Amino acid sequence: MATSKDFGKVAVLFGGDSAERDVSLRSGQAVLAALQAQGINAYGFDPAEQPLTGLVDQHFDRAFIVLHGRGGEDGTIQGALQYLGVPYTGSGVLGCALAMDKVRTKRVWQSTGLPVAQSAVIVRGKPVDWASMIEELGGKVMVKPAQEGSSIGMSPARNAAELEQAVALAHKYDQEALVESWLSGPEYTVSIVGDQALPAIRVQSTHEFYDYDAKYQAGDTQYHCPAGLCELEERALEQLAVSAFRAVGGKGWGRIDVMCDQEGNFKLLEANMVPGMTTKSLVPMAAKAVGMSFEQLVLRILELSEV
């Protein structure tokens, strides 16, 4: 069992300059407080406010990454830390870069036979037959920027005009927009720590979809854990999540989001390599369901950091 001294001086990386900065600040402060409460020599470090070389200059021994979105979840910070020789939590460069890109993650899952919704990719500036596309995808779709998190830039569309508007919004955040057939079934999320899938959580929102407000601001979003699945379905969902995580090179910890179609079939949505760690976040909620406190969770994640 590792002790606080085994980790040396730990930098909790949070903040950054992505669109998810505010969430990252909240996540990072929670992680920092939990580590310090256990006697770990941890300090906050915001890459938006000081250069990464400060990690070396200030003699940090390892980094706990709680940077969400671009720059922190896309392999960039992971590559920089490897270059600096600083061990870090979570997945490596390839896993993070791949999982951040919803389009390429989906292609990897498809190539390995894992279930995903029917979709199309629209590149900024390319002509599109909006009416034909929405008809081919079932008449209602969800549009997402290829490389954003926290539901930023996402919106539904029910006709050609709405699809064009939704894609324009997504293109404000990314050159590629992913257009997926609408999934009308329940939404689940499965957290993974080490090789263990934690109990699935069923997310129930009063919004049309689980958007930024439902995730971080609304008080009426419900989280069900146990998720209400029979044991066979629960095991199948956990196995699917672990397979999806491994397929994109995930390791250490992460989260896989899943929805059901109208027939009740699981469809993979996305992989999160640096999930939220706020008071409303899902990984701590799933850990609590198996008797793991927030402090124990962050310590376990730190134990799994690259050495």
Cα 146 from chain centroid? 13
Does 257 carry a binding-site annotation? yes
- Packed helices 102-111 and 93-100: angle between N→C axes, nearest 10 degrees: 100
Does 270 carry a binding-site annotation? yes
27 is known as an active-site residue: no
20 is known as an active-site residue: yes
Q: Among the options 27, 91, 119, 150, which is catalytic?
A: 150
Please state whether beta strands 62-65 and 9-13 pair in parallel, antiparallel, or not at all (unpaired). parallel
Which residues 6+ apart lie within 8 Å of 276 measured at CB?
23, 27, 68, 150, 215, 282, 283
* Joined tokens for residue 173: 């955040």
Q: Residue 10 in contact with residue 40, Cβ under 8 Å? A: yes
231 is known as an active-site residue: no
Q: Among the options 24, 155, 191, 281, which is catalytic?
A: 281
What is the per-residue burial (b if ≥16 Cβ within 10 Å, else e) of 256-295? bbbbbbeeeebbbbbbbbbbbbbebbbbbbbbbbeebebe
C-alpha to C-alpha distance for 197 and 55, rounded to whole angstroms: 32
Does 176 carry a binding-site annotation? no
Residue ranges with strand state E in 89-140? 119-123
Catalytic residues: 20, 150, 281
Annotated binding site for Mg(2+): 257, 270, 272
Annotated binding site: 257, 270, 272
